[in-house]
Amino acid sequence: MKKVFFIMLAACMAFVFVTNSFAGGNSEPAARGPVLGMYDIPMPSWIHNTPRETGDTMYFVTTGGTDGSTARKETNAASRARSDLIQYIQGKTDVLIRNYAELAGTVGNTQELVDLREGIVNRASGNTSGLRRSEHWISVDGEYWGLYTYDKVIFKADIRTEVNNSFNRNPAASAARVNSDQFFAEMDRALQP
C-alpha cells in the first residue's frame, strides 16, 4: 500500500514538473509599482534614502509607529527626531572640541574643554527649536513617517554663545583661553557635510 502511494506521489510530482516546464511561464518577475500608503499616496524616496546634509541643513527620518492616534504617532516621531538631533549635536561637539584641542595645543587643559563641551551640548540640546517636520507619510498599515529638518545656524549660534560665556566665566584660565576666531573656524569645518 505504501509502495503504491509513493509511486502515485512521484507520478503527480513529475506531471506538475513537466507541465510547468512547458507552460512557457514568464521567467521575469512582474514589475512592481510604487508602494502606496494611506489615501493612495506613493511612498516618498526619503523614507529609505535620507537626504544628504547640506551646509545649512541636517535631515532626520523617523517613524512614530503604528499604535495610537495620528497625533500620538506624530508626537512619537518628533520625539525620536529630537533624540537623533541631540545625538548629532553630541557627536559634532565631540569632534569640534577634539579637533580644536589638537589644533590649539590645549589638550593638557582638559577640565576647561570638558566644561566647554558640556556647556555647548547642554545649551544646544535644550534648544531644539530649529527642528521642523517638513514632510510626512502614513503607510497602509498606519505607520507614521516624518522627514525633519534642522537649521544648523541655530546650532552655530548656540556654540558661539556658549564659547563666549565660557571664557567670560573663567577669566583666570588665560593660558588656555581659546582663540575665538580659530575655534569658530574649526566649528565651520566640523559642521560641513
What pLDDT, in 10s, does the model give residues 149-163? Answer: 999 888 888 888 887
Catalogue all structural domains in the chain, each as residue range(s) with its CATH number.
36-190 (3.10.129)
Structure confidence at residue 175 (pLDDT): 43
Which amino acid, 14? A
Structure confidence at residue 174 (pLDDT): 45
Closest alpha carbon to 154 in 186, 177, 132: 132
Structure confidence at residue 191 (pLDDT): 76
**Which pLDDT band holds residue 173 (cuts at 50, 70, 90)?**
very low
Question: Taking the CB of residue 35, how many other CB atoms lie within 10 A of it?
Answer: 12
Asked if 90 and 123 touch (Cβ cutoff 8 Å), the reply is: no
Distance from C-alpha of 113 to C-alpha of 173, rounded to nearest angstrom: 11
Q: Which letter does DSSP use for residue 31 in this model?
A: P
Distance from C-alpha of 143 to C-alpha of 128, rounded to nearest angstrom: 24
Q: Is the pLDDT of residue 65 over 60?
A: yes
The torsion defined by the Cα of 154, 156, 157 and 162, in degrees rounded to 10, comes to 130
- Mean pLDDT over 70-75 rounds to 94
Higher pLDDT, 96 or 47: 47
Average pLDDT of every residue of the chain:
78
- Mean pLDDT over 111-131 rounds to 80
Asked if 142 and 39 touch (Cβ cutoff 8 Å), the reply is: no
Q: Which letter does DSSP use for residue 29 in this model?
A: P
Higher pLDDT, 31 or 181: 181
Higher pLDDT, 34 or 184: 34
Higher pLDDT, 143 or 98: 143
Structure confidence at residue 13 (pLDDT): 58
Q: Is the pLDDT of residue 18 over 70?
A: no
According to DSSP, the residues that pair with 63 across neighbouring strands are 145
Distance from C-alpha of 139 to C-alpha of 30, rounded to nearest angstrom: 22
Distance from C-alpha of 127 to C-alpha of 1, rounded to nearest angstrom: 80
